[in-house]
Structure 1
Amino acid sequence: MEMTLLKVHGSMNTFYMFEGEEHEDYAQLAIQLSSIDQDIDGILVILPSTIAHAKMRVFNTDGSEASMCGNGLRCVARFVCERDGVTEAVIETMKASLHVKKEETLNDKIETYAVEISPISFALNSLPMSYLSNSEWLHKPLPFISEEIPFSAVSVPNPHLIGIVPAALQKDTSHQQKWAHYFNEENNYFSDGVNVSYVTPIENGIFVRTYERGVGFTNACGTAMTASALISCLAGLVPYGDVTVYNPGGMVKCAVSKTEDTIRLQLTGNATYLSVVKFNWSSSGENSCILSTEPLDEQTDYKEFIEQVTTLSSQFV
């Protein structure tokens, strides 16, 4: 079956994106595409919805399905808004229907979208995480890892374990690699695995590096950046409001607001189209191949933008 795919990225979190039908085996397609193109972090499938403008499903490179993807949602938001001729829409995801909208471009050239990140839970059983008899874990060391690193657990709705670390642990990723790999194999703490982010405060914001469940180290993870901004606000590292979040793939803005018991999160950043790809898909994978690739020119503008904004984070990447 011949398919037309868009290769896209949000903060260099890269995917193939396309409109599809619910019945197809997209887990197998994700595995096939990632074996052919190792630059991608998964696929974004845009489906019809009875309750929203569209439905998004996200499949990682190992075929597992993610409940949400903030960077991917921005790309889906752009596609749906342009397709339907609107500037705001609602996208159905696994756990919630989320509001998305077109924003002013980051530098007069880069397509920019803001997306709601929800639901939010600090309950360990929402990740799930099991550690002694605790029901929450916020800004406290996990002694079996380190007495020096405060960790927090939160689902948004993807599960995240977030550590606040010194710059040395950003430059040398072996510590993060060791524990993230451990937590995403059979272990006593995270039965379904977990996204592990290390966060370091820097001038005017935070730097976040994420080991993504089902993927490994990634240029950026939208829900991880948003969860990291939230934890940084709760810990008093940055003020509530718009938090600038740098990552190996670029920069985003995460809006964090808290009133009494209500927390609202919004992620704003690029939604960049890289190329239009013709792909032949066979269920067996025997004849699956890329037939043609038509590059687009949007990445040039994104690279110029990143060169301007990543001076502060260049020490880590």
Structure 2
Amino acid sequence: MLLKMHGTENVFYLYDVMGMDLDDKAMSEMTKDLCQDGSDGMLFVCDSEIHLAKMRIFNSDGSEPEMCGNGLRCLSRYVLEKFDCSEGVIETLKAAYSVKHIEEFHGISAIQIVLYPVKSLEHPQLKDFDTSYSFKHYTVSNPHIVGHIEDHMTKEDLTVLGEYANNHFDEGMNVNMLRVIGPGKIYVQTFERGVGITKSCGTGMTSSSVDYAIKNDYFDKAIEVYNDGGMIECQVIKEKDYKVLFTGNATYMSKHDLKGNLLESFDEDKAYKLFFNKTRI
């Protein structure tokens, strides 16, 4: 049985494979087959030797990224409910993150992740990345660049920029365009490596919130990060690197068989739509 979930309308299939032996090729091919419906990727709930569970995530093109913030919120909710606990630690490909359930977040329930470390690093290939924008490089296990815009970028322009970045950087690159819409409020558009333009990208919003906090000395305060899928909140804490408290929805949409056929739809998305409409005001 599969669940379909979304984190700020970043849509995933979730498959609990704890106790099962499913190899990388099978995960990749299953993801490519199922995500032909337009879903962004697939989350696999795997066994962990020391934590509650391990997240494996595959993008819609079958590639495996190091991390996905929106996906981790979704998987964390499922795992916390499975083990009947309010908080715990989830392992990912390169790191482990503390997660907990938040009962009330702007009228909906949510998951908060402690994302650490978020690093601001020099990238040797950034200096010859030839665009009219000034970018800064960040890592949240996976690589991001953040640039600033005054107006909303068209999908066509973001696609050209994102494809150029993914051809230019050896490891590929998530491209985030940040627009300030008010004190402590930013709007982020992302071209996600292995996916393309997505309604939201959790680690992209995290990188962008760190960039905003650095430029505006806006630490230890909630930053509202808006995107085409809704809104999440980030609180940036300055330590050796940067720690970000990352809070947003994890919404159950539907239940499916292993071929993707719909078995049952849930009502939770109605509450999220009300929340989404408030974020557009």
Structure-1-length-normalised TM-score = 0.82
Distance 1:175 1:228 in 2: 19
Distance 1:215 1:52 in 2: 28
- 3-state SS of paired residue (1:182): helix
Provide Cα deviations, 1:182-224, integer angstroms capped at 9, x if missing partner: 1223x3xx10110001000002400000000000000100000
CA separation of 1:143 and 1:98: change in aligned 2, threshold 3 A: closer
Distance 1:23 1:301 in 2: 35
C-alpha RMSD of the superposition: 1.8
Query: Percentage identity across aligned positions?
Result: 36
Distance 1:122 1:297 in 2: 40
Partner of 1:182: 164
Aligned-pair CA distance for 1:310 = 1.9
Instruction: Report matched runs for 1:243-258 at 5 Å.
Output: 243-258=223-238
Q: Find the partner of 1:172 among 154, 161, 164.
A: 154
Aligned-pair CA distance for 1:237 = 7.3
Partner of 1:315: none
Deviates more, 1:261-270 or 1:247-256: 261-270
Aligned-pair CA distance for 1:308 = 1.3
CA separation of 1:90 and 1:22: change in aligned 2, threshold 3 A: farther
Letter paired with 2:196:
G
Is 2:43–2:56's contact at 8 Å kept on the other side of the alignment?
yes
Q: Which runs of 4+ in 1 moved over 4 A?
A: 237-240
Matched, 1:199 2:178: yes
Letter paired with 1:118:
Y
Instruction: Report matched runs for 1:17-166 at 5 Å.
Output: 17-20=14-17, 21-24=20-23, 25-35=26-36, 37-38=37-38, 40-108=39-107, 110-124=108-122, 129-131=124-126, 144-146=130-132, 149-166=133-150
Distance 2:237 2:117 in 1: 14
CA separation of 1:216 and 1:85: change in aligned 2, threshold 3 A: same
Letter paired with 1:194:
M
- Structure 2: which 5+ runs fail to align? none
Aligned-pair CA distance for 1:44 = 0.4
Structure-2-length-normalised TM-score = 0.93
Letter paired with 1:179:
L
CA separation of 1:92 and 1:8: change in aligned 2, threshold 3 A: same
Aligned-pair CA distance for 1:56 = 0.3
- 3-state SS of paired residue (1:33): helix
Aligned-pair CA distance for 1:116 = 1.8
Is 2:143–2:173's contact at 8 Å kept on the other side of the alignment?
yes
- Structure 1: which 5+ runs fail to align? 133-141, 281-289, 312-317
Provide Cα deviations, 1:1-44, integer angstroms capped at 9, x if missing partner: xxx10000000000000111353320111111112x11x10000
Instruction: Report matched runs for 1:189-268 at 5 Å.
Output: 190-204=169-183, 205-236=185-216, 238=218, 240-259=220-239, 261-268=240-247
- 3-state SS of paired residue (1:104): strand
